[in-house]
Amino acid sequence: MPAPIRLRELIRTIRTARTQAEEREMIQKESAAIRSSFREEDNTYRCRNVAKLLYMHMLGYPAHFGQLECLKLIASQKFTDKRIGYLGAMLLLDERQDVHLLMTNCIKNDLNHSTQYVQGLALCTLGCMGSSEMCRDLAGEVEKLLKTSNSYLRKKAALCAVHVIRKVPELMEMFLPATKNLLSEKNHGVLHTSVVLLTEMCERSPDMLSHFRKLVPQLVRILKNLIMSGYSPEHDVSGISDPFLQVRILRLLRILGKGDDDSSEAMNDILAQVATNTETSKNVGNAILYETVLTIMDIKSESGLRVLAINILGRFLLNNDKNIRYVALTSLLKTVQTDHNAVQRHRSTIVDCLKDLDVSIKRRAMELSFALVNGNNIRGMMKELLYFLDSCDPEFKADCASGIFLAAEKYAPSKRWHIDTIMRVLTTAGSYVRDDCVPNLIQLITNSVEMHAYTVQRLYKALLDDISQQPFVQVSSWCIGEYGDLLVSGQCEEEDPIQVTEDEVLDVLEGLLASNLSSPVTRGYALTAVMKLSTRLSSVNRIKKVVSIYGSSIDVELQQRAVEYNALFKKYDHMRCALLERMPIMEKAAANGPTETVQTNGEAEPAGLEPKHPPTIIQPANQANDLLDLLGGNDVVPVISTAPAMKPASAGGELLDLLGGLSLSAPTPAPPIPMSQPPFLLDGLSSQPLFNDIATGIPPMTAYNKNGLKIDFTFERSNTNPNIAIITIHAANSTEAEMTNFVFQAAVPKTFQLQLLSPSSSIIPALNQGPVTQVIKVLNPQKQQLRMRIKLTYNHKGSPVQDLAEVNNFPPQSWQ
Amino acid sequence: MIKAILIFNNHGKPRLIRFYQYFAEDMQQQIIRETFHLVSKRDDNVCNFLEGGSLIGGSDYKLIYRHYATLYFVFCVDSSESELGILDLIQVFVETLDKCFENVCELDLIFHMDKVHYILQEVVMGGMVLETNMNEIVAQVELQNRMEKSEFVFISRM
């Protein structure tokens, strides 16, 4: 058999191949030759063949048949054979193959070989791919070599020990005695690997950590020598003496100093020294500084040092080198939790990084920006973030949009700003927002009552431009459905109202229904919006036509809706108004925060004492199907979001039943109101700026006067909705004893709607000393005569009192 | 810990592959392809750090790479390694190659793949940095080569 070709030849041949197929053919031919050569047990050329095999393995071709050959090479006496044999073992073998155990004996022998390079090979192989069994068997040998004076072997033994510890953690104690004088070595290679070994041991075991704390002074000394020693040619990298060792030591110091005052104190000086003396013009200097900064932030350093560290990071941010900027952003992200104020100082630089071309830097800057947003800088930051959202890659848009929503929710300075921001996000990145933002946004819009006209106008205008972004279109069509009347009547206060006719509004909605861009969900929204407009606009016939067309739509969901709405027109027309009334304010399903009643009342009485605090409305996501839920839910005029009283509205409820139902059971706690609402809550108590303060000339009346309790009604008209009358009751107690646990309940005929706000107090002081007030809002769309039945319960002189009364003497102006 | 060291050229052909954690063969080739794909897209003036691809492991892993002429040197590391330090390490490694091969170029790596492995073995062992002193590394490699040569009989081995 001719001598197998050399590795060089093989490589040359393979390079001449012009196609993948040609290459494969050549490799297969050579593989076959190698295999037959192996079968012949040829010792001379085995190393050559294995070398070729490794080359083919690198290109991706199968080479497993060479595994045993590697073992044979390792067992050979020649250094050449051993060298390639061990390399092959490291590349081709691993602990999953049983074959590898056969190596154990060879390695053991080689660890005790007379030639240090053979020992080195053995250590290297054991340290790379030694399995736990092998490590257990050979740990003793490694430990012996750890104590040798030969620095070449010592450093390899140290790293091998790390591997052994990783595979078999129980053996860690075994290496402890050998570590005693590792740090007194002069050789930097040994020092370096020793520090790695110590680091590994400290990370794995807290006992070791406390044991090694006593090494801190020694480490500090070594570091000092490195910095002060001046130029030493063998360890020099770009003018700094062995930066790799410095970085390693700093890292170990970080682990040792974390959470420990004494060690941290011992390190303070040297850290300050490194931080101020290191050259920053080259990458090496920056690597050391970076490590120093991380260490300073992690240990219990003094505040001066921390400030120094953050300033270094700030300088990094201004560096031209992108790598440095990236690294600075990463570490600022880690420290922003603990040193928030210090990082805030660099906010403008961080925000500038958003405009960087580099994807990695942009991502880091975005994360950091979100972490830095707070109530003070929200406006400025949001501007930058919105600009970023406009121009960034699609992979960022989803994260950015979610981040913006969260930040806006937490820190929005005003409702209008909040709504503007969200609309901006929807119009720029509308297709990337998460699904739950649509209901969240709708809830937000419902809650900001005075912004309804403004919101719907802006949404309408934006909708005219672009109907392709589904979440945005869904929100817009919902709003147009709800507040279409405001749109058409041009009531916007915040900006110039636009002139929109009913037909134009319906055109837009019909366009959405017909467009190919709209998803089925969007169409559902649009159809329901059209239907809602039937009670708000006057072009009912047109709406009827639209709805009946979709009664035969292919989409089952759409068809069902259309058919049901059709039925609403035909058979249930009397219910249509009630069903399609304005949505009440929705509360978030999950209460986030303590359920204080402080928001609704001057007093912070827990909900239990005030059975008057009725259950809140928890409206689920506002899919249009909720319309039908309104029947079972509560029809309350949506105004201020204090805990609204509910009349459990059964669609034909009698007055008496309603009252009975009002002695309510478990009062659920008042919902937490989003923080941007405080002005409104307090207003609920006293004068309501929303409402027309000036008496519109409706005379007050006495509703009830018995047993010393006198209740007066005063009237106002709401100026957002002329159908709403606001009645303020004043309850006064002329007896000598106070009345406690005072509860006022009211019911009205079914064509009305009632909302009862919380009373100012449940105790009416004696002798007319201070009346208790409570606000009732009555919606009277059909302008019928107002009648009211009231029920009073209170404790007087220790005994409970209950009374029912009917109030019929309302002045005509209050309900016309 | 260094998870893998990959050297490939501008067309993605591997010149040196070293994994310090077990991956099956086809997985290895896939990782090479994916890494090349990620790294070749990068402009020359962006930073040298990339979040690791999905194959090579989760969020703890970064790709740190340097581009020299026709070759990409990619180190895949986890968070226990200093990113800037690894950049320096790549530089040290390349300069060592330069010293060993005298003005190293891609062809040297192609035809002496095994020698490159031996040099790398003196720098990184088991995924951890062993020696960073260039002269020391070169000296040791030289001695070992001489040992090989002394076993040189009539027929050349490789």
* pLDDT per residue as tens digits for the range A371-429: 888 888 888 888 888 888 888 888 788 888 888 888 888 888 887 888 888 888 888 88
Q: ipTM more than 0.85?
A: yes
d(C-alpha A753, C-alpha A756), whole Å: 10
Chain B neighbors of A94, CB-CB under 8 A = 22
CB neighbours (10 Å) of residue A342? Answer: 19
Chain B neighbors of A55, CB-CB under 8 A = 113
Beta-carbon separation of A95 and B50 below 8 A: no
Chain B neighbors of A232, CB-CB under 8 A = none
According to DSSP, the β-strands at A772-779 and A788-796 are unpaired
* pLDDT per residue as tens digits for the range A311-327: 888 888 888 888 888 88
Of B16, B46, B82, the CB nearest to A287: B82
**Does the pLDDT at position A685 exceed 70?**
no
- pLDDT at site B57: 61
- pLDDT at site A312: 87
Range scoring the smallest mean pLDDT among A595-604, A710-719, B55-64 = A595-604
- pLDDT at site A122: 93
CA within 13 Å, CB half, A131: 14
Instruction: Express as a percent the part of chain A with pLDDT over 70.
Output: 84
**Which residues neighbour A628 within 8 Å (Cβ) at sequence distance 6 or greater?**
A579
Beta-carbon separation of B113 and A44 below 8 A: no
**Does the pLDDT at position B27 exceed 70?**
yes
**Which residues neighbour A426 within 8 Å (Cβ) at sequence distance 6 or greater?**
A433, A441, A469, A471, A472, A475
Count interface pairs A-B at CB distance under 8 A.
Answer: 162
Q: What mean pLDDT is predicted for residues A472-477? A: 86
- pLDDT at site A660: 40
Of B16, B25, B84, the CB nearest to A290: B84
Q: How far is B48 from chain A (nearest CA, A)?
A: 6
Q: Which of A331-335, A370-374, A484-488, B113-117 has the highest mean pLDDT?
A: B113-117
Q: From A91, A41, A84, select the one nearest A64 (Cα to Cα).
A: A91
- pLDDT at site B127: 92
> A235: which 2 tokens?
């360890």
- pLDDT at site A697: 58
**Does the pLDDT at position A633 exceed 60?**
no
Beta-carbon separation of B148 and A159 below 8 A: no
Return the bridge partners of A806, or none. Answer: A789
- pLDDT at site A125: 93
Beta-carbon separation of B85 and A11 below 8 A: no
d(C-alpha A195, C-alpha B79), whole Å: 17
Q: What mean pLDDT is predicted for residues A113-138? A: 91
pLDDT band at A644 (very low <50, low <70, confident <90, very high): very low
d(C-alpha A759, C-alpha A684), whole Å: 10
CB A781 within 8 A of CB A726: no
Identity at A721, one-letter amino acid code: N
> A254: which 2 tokens?
């970080």
Chain B neighbors of A188, CB-CB under 8 A = 132-133
pLDDT band at B72 (very low <50, low <70, confident <90, very high): very high
pLDDT band at A793 (very low <50, low <70, confident <90, very high): confident
**Does the pLDDT at position A463 exceed 50?**
yes
- pLDDT at site A607: 33
- pLDDT at site B59: 65
Chain A neighbors of B51, CB-CB under 8 A = 360
CB A194 within 8 A of CB A182: yes
Chain A neighbors of B16, CB-CB under 8 A = 58
> A458: which 2 tokens?
């802006």
DSSP class of residue A749?
-
**Does the pLDDT at position B137 exceed 70?**
yes
Range scoring the smallest mean pLDDT among A189-203, A205-219, A345-359, A660-674 = A660-674
Q: Hunting for tokens 């009334």 — which residue is that? A: A581
**Does the pLDDT at position A480 exceed 90?**
no
> A718: which 2 tokens?
């709401």
* pLDDT per residue as tens digits for the range A228-284: 876 666 677 777 788 899 999 999 999 998 888 888 888 888 898 888 888 777 788
Task: Please give the mean pLDDT across all residues of chain A.
Answer: 78
Rounded to the nearest 10°, the torsion over CA A7, A8, A14, A16 is -170
**Does the pLDDT at position A49 exceed 60?**
yes
R_g of chain B computed on alpha carbons: 16
R_g of chain A computed on alpha carbons: 40
- pLDDT at site A792: 84
Identity at A353, one-letter amino acid code: C
DSSP class of residue A308?
H
d(C-alpha A552, C-alpha A547), whole Å: 10
Q: From A93, A95, A82, select the one nearest A123 (Cα to Cα).
A: A82
- pLDDT at site B157: 53
Identity at A507, one-letter amino acid code: D
- pLDDT at site A659: 43
Which of B41, B75, B88 has the most A C-beta neighbours within 10 Å, making it the best mutation to test the interface with A? B88
CB neighbours (10 Å) of residue A682? Answer: 12
**Does the pLDDT at position B65 exceed 90?**
yes
Of A188, A245, A283, the CB nearest to B87: A283
Beta-carbon separation of B14 and A124 below 8 A: no
Q: What mean pLDDT is predicted for residues A36-60? A: 90
d(C-alpha A686, C-alpha A683), whole Å: 6
- Phi/psi region, residue B48 (left: phi>0; alpha: psi -120 to 50; beta: rest), is alpha
pLDDT band at A816 (very low <50, low <70, confident <90, very high): low
CA A31 → CA A86, A103, A385, A778, B40, distances in Å? 20, 24, 59, 92, 32
Q: What mean pLDDT is predicted for residues A792-800? A: 82
**Does the pLDDT at position A594 exceed 60?**
no
**Does the pLDDT at position B6 exceed 90?**
yes
Instruction: Express as a percent the part of chain A with pLDDT over 90.
Output: 15
> A21: which 2 tokens?
């197929």
d(C-alpha A355, C-alpha A72), whole Å: 59
Closest chain A residue to B62 measured between Cα atoms? A360
Chain A neighbors of B140, CB-CB under 8 A = 117, 152
More confident residue, A88 or A630: A88
CA A519 → CA A363, A370, A469, A558, A562, distances in Å? 31, 32, 10, 11, 17
Q: Hunting for tokens 């959405």 — which residue is that? A: A512
pLDDT band at A26 (very low <50, low <70, confident <90, very high): very high
DSSP class of residue B70?
T
More confident residue, A329 or A769: A329
Beta-carbon separation of B130 and A361 below 8 A: no
Q: From A626, A616, A667, select the one nearest A646 (Cα to Cα).
A: A616
Q: How far is A189 from chain B (nearest CA, A)?
A: 5
**Does the pLDDT at position A638 exceed 70?**
no
- pLDDT at site B153: 58
According to DSSP, the β-strands at B14-19 and B49-51 are unpaired
DSSP class of residue A552?
G
Identity at A478, one-letter amino acid code: W
- pLDDT at site A778: 81
- Give per-residue burial for A480-494: e unless 16+ CB within 10 Å, then b: bbbbbbbbbeebbee
CB A317 within 8 A of CB A353: yes
Q: Hunting for tokens 């020359």 — which residue is that? A: B44
CA angle A624, A627, A630 (to 5 degrees): 145
Q: How far is A331 from chain B (nearest CA, A)?
A: 12
